[in-house]
Structure 1
């Protein structure tokens, strides 16, 4: 049986959010899933590069790299979501393992 006293507090979701905004992938590193952060970074670079090849010649900087910015925004949201779920589970003393059930809802059997 785990409770708040015996398990260490997870990273603060706002700290993870700030880190993810400042440096792409760093929020995932703080959460202990650096591979996921590296995957987001990889796809950010690839889609940013692809967008530069298909964008109109008169497009601005954001327009030329829109694919990379899209993945950047998704990585920020993903890191914050993971941190928020972990923090809420810790705060409420959730005893279930982190099996990836969305929203803390157990699947029907």
Structure 2
């Protein structure tokens, strides 16, 4: 396992909900990351975020880790969920709410 894969695995396994995104929750750097943050904020769950623009190894490594070509990427309970389009579809269907139902609320 590469160093970036090990770092990504540690982040994914160490957080119930984690979003790999461009920018930060307070200052997203693309519309897709902004939409993903808006969905998570609406759900009111505690989540971690990783700014891939600050670390090129993570930025490239996360694409290989998930076998998914785009960012943002959401992980819930160690499982890859998808990007912002999938998040939106799951949210509209009520599936994302069920997925995070037992995640602790945001402080």
**TM-score (norm. length: structure 2):** 0.29
Structure showing the higher strand proportion among its residues: 2
Kindly indicate which of the two structures has a greater share of residues assigned to helix: 1
